[in-house]
Amino acid sequence: MSTRSFFVGGNWKMNGNKETLSGMMVELNTAELHQHTEVVCAAPSIYLDFVRSGLDPRIGVAAQNCYKVSKGAFTGEISPDMIKDCGADWVVLGHSERRHVFGESDDLIGQKVAHALESGLRVIACIGEKLEEREAGTTEEVVYAQTQVIAENVNDWGKVVLAYEPVWAIGTGQTATPEQAQEVHEKLRAWLRANASDDVADSVRIIYGGSVTAANCRELASQGDVDGFLVGGASLKPEFVDIINARA
């Protein structure tokens, strides 16, 4: 078993309101969570302050996106400085919905990663292939290219968690098998060994996302290179606690 601490992120996406999020926060604050598992909830930006003040301090808070500069005439955007001002320490960048619904390019994601890290945020950097890319046998090529752009913009891997989220598994109920997840995670770690350093490869948490539930989390968590999860749908349900505690 690796020395990397288990990491579970909840990606609440554009869901919830003050009432329902309060309920989820009570659930988390009063649950028994494995002491050595790091937990971070990614809240809608308008609720960052609300969620930070309602969640127990042992649980981290993330924004789901940010822009690549600290301020200015960018209507509708939020900056890392604003996220930090709300007391949140993390940001999710490169999520597949940002890439494919909002058309964010690798370049833009790279610039966001660089600026978020410079500003002192920690980053959950997401990568993952689409179904047609998997079927065409280009999964490795795609995730390596996405990781490359992220890597070019990272100066401290200690502040980054890499989330492998196959697009075909997100919100579809079609989870990658533990073997499929392990295979890609292992390759990503080898990529980090070849392109960053042994130390980075050994220490960076590579987490899996895509239809993780209480029913499938334990088997996924037992894979040697799966260091945690990024959970969407199930992170707003009581079963999120079971997922956090997936690694015994």
The residue ranges that bind ligand PGA (CB under 6 A) are 11, 165, 170-171, 209-212, 230-234
CB-wise, 169 or 200, nearer to ligand PGA?
169
Residue nearest to ligand PGA (CB): 232
CB-wise, 201 or 205, nearer to ligand PGA?
205
CB of residue 126 to ligand PGA, shortest distance in Å:
7
Cα gap 124→163, rounded to integer Å: 6
From 38, 97, 129, 165, the catalytic residue: 165
Is 27:58 a contact under the CB 8 Å cutoff? no
CB of residue 49 to ligand PGA, shortest distance in Å:
23
Cα gap 116→78, rounded to integer Å: 11
**With b meaning 16 or more CB within 10 Å and e meaning fewer, what string describes 37-57?**
bbbbbbbbbebbebbbebbee
Per the annotation, the verdict on 165 as an active-site residue is yes
Cα gap 215→3, rounded to integer Å: 25
CB-wise, 12 or 201, nearer to ligand PGA?
12
81: Cα separation from own chain's centroid = 20
CB-wise, 12 or 200, nearer to ligand PGA?
12
CB of residue 198 to ligand PGA, shortest distance in Å:
29
Encoding tokens for residue 79? 């900056």
From 38, 95, 97, 104, the catalytic residue: 95
| Residues tagged active-site | 95, 165
